[in-house]
Amino acid sequence: MTNKILFAGCSFTANSGFRTENIAKYHWPVLLSHHYNCNYNNIAIGGFNNDEIFLRSIERALDQNYQLVVVMWSQIGRRCVYYADNNIDDWTILNGNPTGLNYSNEELQTYSKLHYAYFNNLYVELKKWLIQIIALENVFANKNQNFVFVKGFENLLSDFIKVEYVANQLFSLSDNLKHLLDFENRPDYYILEKITDIKKLIRQIDTTKWINFSSPSFLDSALDRSDDQIHPGPTTNRLLVDKLIAHIDSHNLLNY
């Protein structure tokens, strides 16, 4: 088996909620690797945020050579923290119920509640994610690394893309964005400035490297559920594989 693929992402990429005995039959990274008869390395971890996906993708791609890197981006607003004492680099994930090292620690529970009550700024999280996308594209391009990106969650992209500014008026501003942009308390010029900042970043993204940038995310395209009845199931995973194969073949990303 040849043509090693690196997969990076969150639980959608780690196992998509399938039991161990069903991963080989239904999970999209395994199916894709079987299609190309190649080895793969899956560094995805359930609950991981885009910061970790970004950094670990760079670390692995710089350390090893892969014919292809497939990154499925996660949900903005997730957080990964590291205890300073009695720890080196074991992680703890804050995403609903904390998981990982010392996840049940009382101080961690308080920290998580405080963060999501007061500091989970999704505008900043979105902006940071878009910059990470652009940065990772450039790292891979400089390394001549073939890659493809997959949108695991919508992450407000379609909300910002739909917004228009015509005749000094904003149109198609969703309720999500009105809340995000503090619509009731901010002047129009300020809101427009913040929308423009995001749109400028979106325009810098090379959407030809994606299979679903302008179409529904992996989660939103789910037609069925996996063993845990939460993650996208066998049919959805198979459809994703078909899209990836079409993209990989049309761009000649895996050369034999």
Tell whether 6 is covered by a domain. Answer: yes
- Enter the pTM of the model: 0.96
Tell whether 95 is covered by a domain. Answer: no
Phi/psi at 43 (nearest 5 deg)? -100, 10
Q: Is the pLDDT of residue 192 over 80?
A: yes
CATH number at residue 53: 3.40.50.1110
* Top-confidence residue, 165 or 1: 165
Q: Is the pLDDT of residue 1 over 60?
A: no
CB–CB of 123/181 below 8 Å?
A: yes
Tell whether 102 is covered by a domain. Answer: no
CB atoms within 10 A of CB 216: 12
17 is in which domain, residue-wise? 2-77+120-155+206-250
Tell whether 198 is covered by a domain. Answer: no
SS3 content of the chain, % helix, strand, coil (to 5): 45, 15, 40
- Dist. CA 196–CA 160, nearest whole Å: 9
In percent, the amount of the chain with pLDDT more than 70 equals 98
CB–CB of 222/236 below 8 Å?
A: yes
- Dist. CA 25–CA 179, nearest whole Å: 42
Tell whether 190 is covered by a domain. Answer: no
Query: What is the per-residue pLDDT for 167?
Result: 77
Query: What is the per-residue pLDDT for 256?
Result: 58
The contacts of residue 243 (CB under 8 Å, 6+ apart) are: 211, 212
* Number of domains comprising the chain: 1
Tell whether 60 is covered by a domain. Answer: yes
Tell whether 145 is covered by a domain. Answer: yes
Task: List 164's β-bridge partners, or say none.
Answer: 171
Tell whether 185 is covered by a domain. Answer: no
Lowest-confidence range among 57-66, 140-149, 162-171, 240-249? 162-171
Averaged pLDDT, 87-110: 94
Q: Which of 29, 12, 255, 9 is nearest to 146 (CA)?
A: 255
